[in-house]
Each structure stands twice: as C-alpha cells, then as structure tokens.
Amino acid sequence: MSFDYLQAKVKQCGEGINVAFYFADSQWFLKSGASERPLIDLARQQSQPFYLYDLDEAARRARAFVSSGLQVHYAMKANSFPRLLQLFAREGLGVDVVSLGELKKALENGFSPSKIIYSGLGKGHEELEFALGKRIHQINVESFEELQLIEELSRAMNLKAEVALRLNIHLAAPTHKNIQTATEESKFGIDIRQLPEVLTWLKTAKNCHLVGLATHVGSQITDISVFRTVSQRMGEIYREVRGQGFALRTLDLGGGLGLDYHSSGERDLEILPDYFAAIGGHNTEARVVIEPGRFLVARAGVLIAKVVHVKRGINRQFVILNVGMNALMRPALYQAYHRIEPLVHRSGAKEVYTICGPLCEGTDIFAEQREVSPLKSGDWIGIFDTGAYGAVMANNYNEMPRPPELALFDGRLEAQ
C-alpha cells in the first residue's frame, strides 16, 4: 500500500472534525456528533468526580486504523467501557485481551472468538482451558512453560491449538522505564535466545501448531523509527522460522504508538500514515497485526473533578481536588503529564499551583507547579486525555470511590 494512499485514507477519516473536547469563549465544550455541550453543564449534573467519554472521537480513530489494511486488535486494557467495546466490535476491530476477565468481557460485548488475541504472562490452567474451549483466534504464548501447558491441555481436550510466540527482542524503547517491555531483564515474552530451544520442542509437539510470532516493545512511543526497527527485526526472525518449515502466517507487532500529551490532539492523525508504513511496510508475506490501545482512546476521555480547597502554603499554592491518584494513577506511576484546566476560566492572570489529590500519599500529585487560570474552591476542572489507562487502573485506596464512567447518548449522560 502506498504512503499517498494511506495519507488520503487517514485524512478522509478525520475530515471535518477536530477534537472531542475544545475550548472556546472561556470554557470547555464537548462536541459529540452534531451536538455541542459546555462541560460545566454536564459536571453540574454530578456530585462526584467522573470520567466522561466521547465515543465519536474513538470511532474516528478506529476508522483511521482500519483504513490501514492491517489487522487491528484493540488492546482493551486501555479502556474497557462496555459501549466502547461494542463500538469497536461494530467498526470491525479485533481485540487483544490479557486476562480471563478481559476475555469474558470481550465476548460479552460483541467480539466473536475469531476476533480475539489472548496475550499475558499469567495464563494458567483455568485461563487456557477456557480460551482453548472457546476456540479463540490466537494465543500469544509468553513462556516455554505456558507452551508446554497448552500442549498438555489441548491433548486432554482433544484439539489442536494454534499459537503465536511472543518474543522479547531486546529493544529498550525510548519511553518511561516503567512501560518498556522488551529490555533484557523484562518479564514479558520468550527471550529471543531461547527461541531455538522452543522451536526444536515445537517440531515434535502434536497438538500445538505455531502460526505466528508476536512482540510488543513498550508503550507511549512517539519515535516512529522504533516501529520500523521492530518490523524489520521481527520480519527477519519470521522468515528464518518459516525457513525451518513452520507454516507461519501472522506477525503481531503489538501496540505502543504514543501521543504528545502536551498538545490538544488536533494533529494526532497526521502521524498515522508514517506509522502504518513503518510497522506494516516490510513484511508483505505475513498478515501483520497491530494492537493499539492508547492512541485510540486517550483523547476520548476527560476526568472531571472539583476543587475542594486552594491551600496557601509558604512557597506553594496547593489545589486540593476531590479526586486522587486512586482514580488516575498515571502521574504517580510514570510522572505522566496531563493537561489540567478549569472547565470555565476565570478572568485574571494565570496562577501557579501544585494540583493534588486528597490521599494520604506524597505521590498523590497530578501536576507540580502548573500555570493555570485562577481557581477557587467549588470550581470544576478537567484532567484531559485520560481515556486510556485511567478508569481501568482506578482503585479504592483510602476508601475513595472509583469514579463512574459516563458518555453522552442522545444528549444524556449514561453509564452503560
């Protein structure tokens, strides 16, 4: 597929739409389908913090991915809001799951077994038996031990298992170290140095058939050349393994495409033709699979919360919110940046605040010394670009509630 063709296709998918959440006349709006609503109106209908999603934004991105011609399996760990899953299933995406819980949820929300890839390190007896019984499309095997268990189970169940090997190709992706997944010491995948031993074993395995190779080198990667390297290296390994007589057909190159969290996302889609060409361009003999998560959904969500206090310290002013790291772990875990803004801007010069949650934990800070339009107790704020790895990672630490997830349907906010 030519680069120009991809560019035209992606442009078509984004035509006429900018971003879901936009700022105009001193306040933030949600543009969803034909309607536009001030976020403050939606916030005032709620008493607690909540995640607000715009599914049109996610649909537009999903279409841009589908237009690439690659096999797209949404990494549902990023956001598993049921209506979002149903939407992606309708748009023709497959799904990548990493636990029995995700597998069951995918099945309940419109994905047929033939559209499911099951990755993850901890697939034991119960998980594998269920997946094999459902005849899901592909199991990405993360260890020799798991492979041997699959052989044992499929023999007992009298069926043939089609498997792909997830390989650790030793590539330290340029991203936060907590979301690199293919360094030499990483727990993920089968170390590339163990591949010959695994292949020798597979030659005599009766019930496991090797049909593909997979990898995922990390997340929030914005340097496209990394994907070119991954694609080239995996392509070489693919051809070598095929040369040994294995009837491979798929090459799963994982997810990982990142975003500029400092920007509003209006230009996000411009990177896609380059990305598709880099990841898909080298391996025409294989069916190339990708597993995007963040890129599809991060921009489609905002966490909306209230200011409890603006606390004047000696050197700093702290804004204390009614939501904490229990609801959004990313800043505490990866020092991640999220745009934070009042839903309605007050007049006056910007102020510098440290914006915190209320939890008894020093890392419960969303932004250090951030310049923001002036805030007062009772103001509502938005923490933007939190549609990925937001609600799914929320917990109840300090007995804080997990924020509800809402989306606009026919002008009304609904949870399901």
Active site residues: 360
Residues 6+ apart with CB under 8 A from 366: 321, 325, 328, 331, 338, 340, 355, 356, 357, 383
Residue 278 beta carbon to ligand LLP: minimum distance, rounded to whole angstroms: 15
Measure the CA–CA gap between 384 and 107, rounded to whole angstroms: 30
Tokens 């979301």, residue located: 179
Residue 337 binds ligand LLP (CB under 6 A)? no
Site string for ligand LLP, 41-70 (x = CB under 6 A): ------------------------------
Q: Which is nearer to ligand LLP, 64 or 179 (CB)?
A: 179
Size of the site for ligand LLP (CB under 6 A): 21
Q: Which is nearer to ligand LLP, 171 or 343 (CB)?
A: 171
Site string for ligand LLP, 365-394 (x = CB under 6 A): ------------------------x-----
Residue 317 beta carbon to ligand LLP: minimum distance, rounded to whole angstroms: 28
Query: For residue 273, how many other CB atoms are within 10 A of its CB?
Result: 23
- The token duo for 299 is 């921009």
- The token duo for 192 is 């590339």
- The token duo for 176 is 């936060």
Measure the CA–CA gap between 410 and 171, rounded to whole angstroms: 46
Residue 253 binds ligand LLP (CB under 6 A)? no
Cα–Cα nearest to 173, from 214, 220, 140, 213: 220
Measure the CA–CA gap between 173 and 188, rounded to whole angstroms: 14
Measure the CA–CA gap between 199 and 395, rounded to whole angstroms: 41
Cα–Cα nearest to 364, from 321, 396, 404, 305: 321
Residue 168 beta carbon to ligand LLP: minimum distance, rounded to whole angstroms: 12
Name which of residues 186 to 245 contact ligand LLP (CB under 6 A).
216, 219-220
Residues 6+ apart with CB under 8 A from 267: none
Measure the CA–CA gap between 51 and 20, rounded to whole angstroms: 14
Tokens 């034991």, residue located: 124
Q: Which is nearer to ligand LLP, 93 or 343 (CB)?
A: 93
Question: Exactly one of 294, 299, 338, 339 binds ligand LLP (CB under 6 A); which one?
Answer: 294
Name which of residues 85 to 114 contact ligand LLP (CB under 6 A).
96
Q: Which is nearer to ligand LLP, 127 or 291 (CB)?
A: 291
Residue 325 binds ligand LLP (CB under 6 A)? no
Q: Which stretch binds ligand LLP (CB under 6 A): 4-12, 287-295, 314-322, 401-409?
A: 287-295
Question: Exactly one of 130, 201, 318, 334 binds ligand LLP (CB under 6 A); which one?
Answer: 334
CB 290 within 8 A of CB 70: yes
Residues forming contacts to ligand LLP in the complex (CB under 6 A) are 75, 77-78, 96, 119, 179, 216, 219-220, 254-257, 291-295, 330, 334, 389
